[in-house]
Amino acid sequence: MGARPRLLCVDLDSTFAHKKYNNSRLTPLGKTDNISLMEEQTLEDLLQQYRKGHHEALETIVELTRVPLYRFILGLVRDPHVAEDVFQDVWLRAIKGLHRYERDRLLAWLFRIARNRVIDLSRKRKPDASLQQPAGSGTEATTLEYFLSSSSPGGERNTSNRELAQRIFQAVDRLPPEQREVYLMRTEAEIPFKEIALAQGVPLNTALARMQYALKRLRSELSEDYETLLHVSNRTP
Amino acid sequence: MNPQNLSHRLLLRQSGELSTEDSAELEAYLQENPEAQALDQEYLVLQDADRFASSELVPPVNDITLERIRSAAQTSTPAPRSRWMAIAAGIVLLLAALPLLIPPESSPINVQEDSFSSTSPFISETEDFSEELEDLQQEIASWNDISTWELLEVEEESYLAEQLLPPVESI
């Protein structure tokens, strides 16, 4: 494991340091656009460089997309080890299939590959499986144990952050699979609902309803932490 | 505006998928309804929550994984070039396979050869062969006075006799 690059150090006295909404769009602190949109152009530029033969550009792309892609996969498979394998596989497939990638949202494209890969894995283990039955053999406990066992990089200062983060992961893990998928597609890659509905093969209203129920459930699960979340997300009415 | 309609519109506005007209209408509604404003805020906060948790907990890419990706990237040909290479290779293959795909037309020379062959000694050679074949068939027929089934029966009877009857010396 290498050093963990971070956009900004987060603590509870600050805000959601790496992004916050502004005019309904996520905005990283000190920058003018949300992380997906901000980096989407960067990703496209890097992709162009890679296509011109600058292989090192891909490494930067992998790093820029690491958190949302890994989190999305983890949310589907709920097993950190399986998630790591899928993450690698997604990139190997993406590299092979880059010629098929038309100018689109790279992250959304990677999410689609990841989603298909997770479904393939589930079917290998159980032929009639879907995302309803995650590919990972793990449970939420596996995910949490894994993260709890990894040492806190920031020491004392980050402990409360990590504990809160763990409670959030726990709550998200408890969502029904189809709601969890919509929630993660929205939160991690900001995939539009129309695309999510297409990916899930459901009407737009169903995708919206799934998100609505997911948020309602999270609100209930995180009720004790809501004030803290409100504070750290720096949302003011 | 019913609660579900409001929720859907808020979500669509946050994802940038709500039309300008609907956005304006929703904005006016939010101004008049503090509860709807609170719901809007709640949705945003709860979506931020997972991003916050990810930034805290998602581990860095494993070195081995990164090395494999890096290695795959280095061995992979950049896309546009590979696409054109594939098209060019396809054209070359098609050109190479073209003579095999189109059946050759019969030429006048072939026709002449055919007509020539009808007057050639080939027919007499065929006649000789059929005569030889007839001779062979007759020879086989002369040896076939005992049919195969009959031969099998005889063999079986001899075997039973050997097994069941005592040897001549013992009688």
Residue A30: its pLDDT value, please?
A: 29
Cα A117 to Cα A97: distance, rounded to the nearest angstrom = 14
pLDDT tens column, B116-125: 444 445 555 5
Residue A129: its pLDDT value, please?
A: 55
Q: Any CB–CB contact under 8 A between B41 and chain A?
A: yes
Q: Any CB–CB contact under 8 A between B1 and chain A?
A: no
Q: Verify whether the Cβ–Cβ distance B45 to A55 is below 8 Å.
A: no
Minimum CA–CA partner of A53 in chain B: B78
Q: Which of A102, A70, A232, A97 is nearest to A160 (CA)?
A: A232
| Chain B residues lying within 8 Å of A39, measured CB to CB | none
Residue B99: its pLDDT value, please?
A: 75
Q: Which of B121, B125, B122 is nearest to B133 (CA)?
A: B125
Q: Residue-wise pLDDT tens for chain A (237 aa)? A: 343 333 322 233 333 333 332 333 333 322 333 445 556 678 888 888 888 888 888 888 898 889 999 999 999 998 888 999 999 999 999 998 887 787 678 888 999 999 999 999 888 876 555 555 544 444 444 555 555 555 445 555 478 888 999 999 999 999 999 999 999 999 998 899 999 999 999 999 999 999 999 999 999 999 999 999 988 887 765
- Most B CBs within 10 A among A50, A172, A212, hence the mutation to make, goes to A212
* Amino acid residing at B105: E
- Most B CBs within 10 A among A64, A169, A183, A213, hence the mutation to make, goes to A169
Helices (H), B15-147: 20-32, 34-57, 63-75, 79-101, 108-118, 122-143
| Chain A residues lying within 8 Å of B61, measured CB to CB | 2, 62-63, 66, 70, 87
Residue B144: its pLDDT value, please?
A: 54
Residue A97: its pLDDT value, please?
A: 86
Q: Which helix (H) or strand (E) holds B77?
A: none
Map residue A8 onto helix, strand or coil.
coil
Q: Higher confidence at residue B87 or residue B119?
A: B87
Task: Tell me how far CA of residue B151 lies from CA of A2, A54, A237, B136, in angstroms.
Answer: 87, 85, 108, 22
| Chain A residues lying within 8 Å of B5, measured CB to CB | none
Query: Are the C-beta atoms of residues A211 and A186 closer than 8 Å to each other?
Result: yes
Residue A12: its pLDDT value, please?
A: 32
| Chain A residues lying within 8 Å of B54, measured CB to CB | 67-68, 71, 165, 188
Map residue A134 onto helix, strand or coil.
coil
Q: Verify whether the Cβ–Cβ distance B50 to A183 is below 8 Å.
A: yes
- Chain B, 93-132: which have a CB under 8 Å from a chain A CB? none
Task: Tell me how far CA of residue B74 lies from CA of A49, A99, B67, in angstroms.
Answer: 13, 15, 10
- Chain B, 59-98: which have a CB under 8 Å from a chain A CB? 59-63, 65-66, 68-70, 72-74, 76, 78-80, 82-83
Q: Any CB–CB contact under 8 A between B17 and chain A?
A: yes
Closest CB from A17, A162, A194 relative to B57: A162
Neighbouring C-beta atoms of residue A47, cutoff 10 Å? 19
The total number of residues shown for chain A amounts to 237
| Chain B residues lying within 8 Å of A174, measured CB to CB | none
Helices (H) and strands (E) in chain A, counts: 10, 2
The ipTM value here is: 0.72
Q: Which helix (H) or strand (E) holds B1?
A: none
Residue A38: its pLDDT value, please?
A: 53
Mark A3-16 as b/e (b = at least 16 C-beta within 10 Å).
Answer: eeeebeebeeeebb
| Chain B residues lying within 8 Å of A186, measured CB to CB | 15, 47
Q: Which of A32, A69, A61 is nearest to A44 (CA)?
A: A61
Cα B162 to Cα A96: distance, rounded to the nearest angstrom = 77
Residue A146: its pLDDT value, please?
A: 57
Residue B84: its pLDDT value, please?
A: 67
In this prediction, what percent of chain B has a pLDDT beyond 90?
A: 28
| Chain B residues lying within 8 Å of A218, measured CB to CB | 46, 49
Q: Which two tokens stand for residue A94?
A: 């993406």
Query: Are the C-beta atoms of residues A186 and B84 closer than 8 Å to each other?
Result: no
Cα A10 to Cα A161: distance, rounded to the nearest angstrom = 8
Q: Any CB–CB contact under 8 A between B38 and chain A?
A: yes
Q: Verify whether the Cβ–Cβ distance B48 to A164 is below 8 Å.
A: no
Query: Are the C-beta atoms of residues B67 and A83 closer than 8 Å to each other?
Result: no
Map residue A26 onto helix, strand or coil.
strand
Contacts of the segment A85-91: beta carbons below 8 A, 24+ positions apart: A86/A114, A86/A117, A86/A118, A86/A121, A86/A135, A87/A114, A87/B61, A87/B65, A88/B65, A88/B68, A88/B69, A89/A117, A90/A114, A90/A117, A91/A62, A91/B69, A91/B72
| Mean pLDDT estimate for chain B | 74
Neighbouring C-beta atoms of residue A189, cutoff 10 Å? 26
Instruction: Name residue, tokens 């020491």.
Output: A155
Give the contacts of A225 (CB within 8 A, at least 6 positions apart): A164, A167, A168
User: Distance, in angstroms, between A195 CA and closest chain B CA?
Assistant: 11
**Is residue B140 exposed (0-12), middle (13-18) or buried (19+ Cβ within 10 Å)?**
exposed
pLDDT tens column, B27-58: 999 999 999 999 999 999 999 999 999 988 88
Q: Verify whether the Cβ–Cβ distance B7 to A84 is below 8 Å.
A: no
User: Distance, in angstroms, between A128 CA and closest chain B CA?
Assistant: 30
CA angle A215, A218, A219 (to 5 degrees): 85
Closest CB from B41, B43, B57 relative to A165: B57
Q: Verify whether the Cβ–Cβ distance B16 to A25 is below 8 Å.
A: yes
User: Distance, in angstroms, between A135 CA and closest chain B CA?
Assistant: 19
Residue B34: its pLDDT value, please?
A: 94
Cα A219 to Cα B46: distance, rounded to the nearest angstrom = 7
Largest CA distance in chain A: 51
Cα A210 to Cα A119: distance, rounded to the nearest angstrom = 19
0.80 surpassed by pTM: no
Cα A140 to Cα A163: distance, rounded to the nearest angstrom = 15
